[in-house]
Amino acid sequence: MDFEIIVATTSEDKMSEFRQFFAGYSISLSSLKDIDLSIPINETGATFLDNALIKARAVARYVNKPVLADDSGLQIETLGGFPGTKSARFMAGTPYAERMMAILKMLEPHHNRRAQFSCTLVLMQPTGDYRIFIGTCSGTIATQLVGANGFGYDPIFKVDELGKTFGEASITEKQKYSHRGKAVEKLITCLVNNNIIKKMR
C-alpha cells in the first residue's frame, strides 16, 4: 500500500507540481479538495515556516494521516523581500499577469533586480512531530513577462542556473531547479532513506 499524505492546499497548480515531483514513488497525495475538507486557514505568520506550520496544524486537527504543508514565495532584494509571505495574497483576486506588471512597475526606479524563490515544506505526523525541508532558487526579475509555462510569478523570474525564466522552462527543468523541486527532493530523500517510500520500477 502506498504511503498517503494529505497536502494542505486547494491549489490545483500546486498539486499538479507535487504529483509530478512524486511520480514513480510509492506515495499517494490527496489535496483538501480531494478529501472534501474546507476549513479557514489564516496565514498570519511572519515567515514561510510560520505559515507552513499554521497550515499543517490546521489540517492535522481533522485528519489522522501525515500532512504536508508548503509555504513559498518570491523575495525581491531591492524591495526588502517583498512580496515574500504575501506572494499569493498580493493583489489577491486579480490575474497574475496584472500582479507581475505591478511588480515590474515598482522595479522601474531600481537597478538591482536580484530575487529568489523560497519554499518551506513541513511534513507533520499525526503525533504532531514534524520535519522541515527548505529549497531556494536564485535569479533576477526580467523586464517583461517571458514564457507561458508554470504559474504564479514564473514568467518574470529569470533563473540563474537556466538563463531563462520559469515561464520558458520545461517541466523537467522546473523540477530540477525550482525552489519547490529542491525542497521536495530533500523530502523524498528523507522518506526513501527511512524506508517509508520507495522508487517504483
DSSP states of 88-151: TTTTTTS-HHHHHHHHHHHHTT-S--EEEEEEEEEEE-TTS-EEEEEEEEEEEE-SS---S-SS
3-state secondary structure of 29: strand
Residue corresponding to grid cell 499525526: 126
Q: Which of 23, 25, 28 minimizes the C-alpha distance to 7? A: 28
CA distance 133 to 49: 10
Whether 71 sits among the annotated catalytic residues: the reply is: yes
Annotated catalytic residue within 2, 36, 71, 160: 71
The x, y and z cell numbers of residue 10, run together, are 486547494
Which DSSP state fits 62? Answer: T
Q: Which of 133, 117, 201, 98 minimizes the C-alpha distance to 166? A: 117
> Active-site positions?
71
